[in-house]
């Protein structure tokens, strides 16, 4: 039995279609990522799967149970960590965890081993108010509360948004430990670099799935040669590249600009000469391996052109 199955799921808010004919499945014990920017439809999917929102059409099941008719049976078996910190800020760390354990008819002691790797970092601050915790500590507390009843499926909506790089890394290490415990995990993130932490990912934009693959396989959708170009004036470089007659795509990428050419083979010396004749200096051109962010941008443009 697959823990999550979605088929042709659609949901609108008035005239705005949040998700359109979404379909995907999560395998047992899989860490599956929904990758996309804010407004892509990720939270709507999470709210439907956690029985907080009814879809307009389509089917969704969690642990073999349809989400609308079986919401009472689903809720005790899943853990949900929403994107916004939603614990009681005027309760202490320990009081929050005790409360959520009691809601599910259990205790901290009964399932302590599951949350120990996470909660042990919070125990020195167990009497501190939740609202006074740092961003990373708040996320660890929220994850502990989502796990305290030993769920079979874990839903995490942008759990690392707004936390520092070290806390993000620690959080993903925790998720891999939970996966090793046999918990199926659906996680969303707007950070493309986090996609590589997942077993499989679905790239989502404007309520539509662009692609579903493993992180390594998804970059194979990028079929053109990719070039990184750098010059003394990045803004001018972008403008000049966009006016080049053979340009296919131009995307800013850190200190470089990622470029694809309409022709199968780029003449580097020709392009460099073109840039230098437009008063760009210290021009550097090198071939680049496309990553998930490059692929996402490529698929997004293709979807817009096809639409």
The CATH classification of domain 223-289, taken from the options 3.30.70.100, 3.40.50.360, 3.40.50.1000, 3.40.50.300: 3.30.70.100
Do 168 and 162 touch, CB atoms closer than 8 A?
no
Report the pLDDT value the prediction gives residue 249, as an integer from 0 to 100: 93
Report the pLDDT value the prediction gives residue 84, as an integer from 0 to 100: 84
User: Which portions of the chain are predicted below pLDDT 70?
Assistant: 307
pTM of the model: 0.88
Contacts of 179 (CB under 8 A, 6+ apart): 29, 30, 31, 185
For the domain bounded by 4-219, which CATH number is listed? 3.40.50.300
- Which two tokens mark 98? 């005790």
DSSP one-letter string for 136-163 = HHHHHHHHHHHHTT--SEEEEESTTTTS
Q: Where are the alpha helices (DSSP H) in the chain?
A: 42-49, 71-74, 93-103, 112-119, 135-147, 165-180, 215-218, 234-242, 268-277, 292-306
Report the pLDDT value the prediction gives residue 300, as an integer from 0 to 100: 85
Taking only the tens place, the pLDDT of each residue in 31-59 is: 999 999 999 999 999 999 999 999 999 99
Question: Domain coordinates of the chain in residue numbers?
Answer: 4-219, 223-289
Report the pLDDT value the prediction gives residue 70, as an integer from 0 to 100: 96
Contacts of 249 (CB under 8 A, 6+ apart): 258, 259, 260, 297, 298, 301
Report the pLDDT value the prediction gives residue 307, as an integer from 0 to 100: 59
Report the pLDDT value the prediction gives residue 162, as an integer from 0 to 100: 77
Question: Quick one: CA dihedral 230, 164, 208, 212, positive or negative?
Answer: positive
């Amino acid at each position: 039995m697959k823990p999550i199955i979605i088929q042709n799921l659609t949901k609108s808010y008035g005239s705005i279609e949040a998700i359109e004919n979404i379909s995907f499945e999560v395998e047992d014990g899989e860490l599956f990522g929904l990758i996309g920017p804010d407004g892509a439809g990720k939270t709507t999917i999470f709210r439907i799967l956690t029985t907080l929102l009814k879809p307009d059409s389509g089917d969704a099941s969690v642990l073999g149970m349809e989400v609308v008719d079986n919401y009472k049976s689903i809720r005790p078996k899943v853990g949900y960590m929403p994107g916004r910190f939603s614990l009681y800020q005027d309760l202490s760390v320990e009081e929050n965890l005790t409360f959520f354990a009691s809601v599910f008819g259990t205790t901290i002691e009964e399932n302590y081993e599951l949350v120990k790797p996470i909660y042990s970092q919070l125990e020195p601050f167990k009497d501190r108010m939740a609202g006074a915790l740092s961003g990373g500590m708040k996320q660890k507390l929220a994850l502990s509360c989502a796990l305290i009843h030993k769920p079979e499926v874990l839903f995490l909506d942008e759990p690392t948004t707004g936390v520092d790089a070290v806390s993000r890394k620690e959080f993903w290490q925790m998720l891999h430990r939970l996966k090793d415990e046999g918990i199926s995990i659906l996680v969303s993130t707007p950070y493309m670099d986090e996609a590589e932490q997942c077993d499989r990912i679905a790239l989502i934009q404007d309520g539509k799935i662009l692609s579903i693959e493993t992180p390594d396989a998804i970059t194979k959708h990028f079929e053109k040669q990719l070039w990184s170009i750098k010059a003394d004036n990045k803004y001018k470089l972008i403008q000049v590249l966009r006016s080049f007659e053979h340009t296919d795509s131009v995307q800013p990428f850190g200190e470089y600009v990622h470029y694809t050419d309409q022709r199968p083979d780029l003449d580097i010396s020709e392009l460099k000469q073109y840039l230098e004749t437009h008063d760009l200096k210290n021009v550097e051109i090198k071939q680049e391996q496309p990553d998930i962010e490059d692929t996402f941008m490529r698929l997004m443009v293709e979807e817009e052109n096809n639409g």
